[in-house]
Amino acid sequence: MSQLEKVYGIHAVEALLRHHPKRVKQLWLAERRSEPRLQPLLALAGQYRLPVDSIDRGQLDEWTEGVHQGVMAEVTPSQVLGENMLDDLLGASDEPPLILILDGVTDPHNLGACLRTADAAGVRVVILPKDRSATLNATVRKVACGAAEVIPVVSVTNLARTLERLQQKGIWIVGTAGEATQDLYEQDLRGPIALVMGAEGKGMRRLTREHCDYLVRLPMAGSVSSLNVSVATGVCLFEAVRQRRVSS
């Protein structure tokens, strides 16, 4: 198992079987095969002639770090895309791209939740810096509920340089910062936009902030000064979705 990644959870494993079946080498089940919720997995495994074996739930608990729902797949390591793929991804549609950039999000649960929201909001690509960022591990995939298998994730060496590259392509960079004077709801998010969300607690790095075209803040009415990054990401992305639907 040392050369393979472990992906667990019904939704995450099903997404892999549907979108990347060649990566799946072995399927393990701790539940009875007659369980209705396992039937789509078994059907896909049969379609691609993948080995399916039973395993003791206690053993599966040892192999995983979260709620596995009685399902685990051994898969070949995932490939986070390189920045050389950005041009192809940005040109994949005639619609103005909506991009999510996560600057220093190190908690895998937050990264997984952000990927799930990004997929739901129709984000074209998620960009992460290579340093000070969580990676696509089993926890991220479980929390993302399959989104990690379908949404392109690009890792970049120099985030500031990538922001400049996006700007040269006509993409506006909108960063979120508590000290911003403009509310999120006052910002036009209908065009080609890259939304930058900062790290938990610290926010965006100084150089990242300096490369933003606009800074916006979420209006906070209560005593809490900020939201969890995955919650804030959902608020911002779906405000962009709302504006784009109204304009169309």
Give tens-digit pLDDT for 98-113.
999 999 899 999 999 9
Enumerate residues 6+ apart whose C-beta is below 8 A from 168: none
- Is 227 marked as binding a ligand? yes
Two structure tokens written together for 60: 């599966």
Among the ranges 57-66, 122-131, 146-155, which has the highest mean pLDDT value? 122-131
> Of 177, 175, 174, 105, whose CA–CA distance to 143 is shortest?
105
Cα distance from N-terminal residue to C-terminal residue, the chain: 49
Task: Report the pLDDT value the prediction gives residue 1, as an integer from 0 to 100.
Answer: 43
What integer is the mean pLDDT of 150-168?
Answer: 94
Two structure tokens written together for 102: 């996560």
Task: Report the pLDDT value the prediction gives residue 246, as an integer from 0 to 100.
Answer: 86
Distance CA 1, CA 30 (A): 18
Distance CA 189, CA 195 (A): 9
Average pLDDT, the chain: 89
List, for residues 186-237, the tens digit of each pLDDT value.
Answer: 999 999 999 999 987 788 999 999 999 999 999 877 666 678 899 999 999 9
Task: Report the pLDDT value the prediction gives residue 224, as an integer from 0 to 100.
Answer: 64
pTM of the model: 0.80
- Is 46 marked as binding a ligand? no
CATH topology for the 81-247 domain:
Alpha/beta knot (3.40.1280)
**Residue ranges per structural domain of the chain:** 5-75, 81-247
Dihedral Cα 41, 147, 111, 165, nearest 10 deg: 150
Residue 248's pLDDT band (cuts 50, 70, 90): low
Share of the chain above pLDDT 70, in %: 96
DSSP 124-146: SEEEEESSS---S-HHHHHHHTT
CATH topology for the 5-75 domain:
60s Ribosomal Protein L30; Chain: A; (3.30.1330)
Residue pair 85/181 in contact by the 8 Å Cβ criterion = no
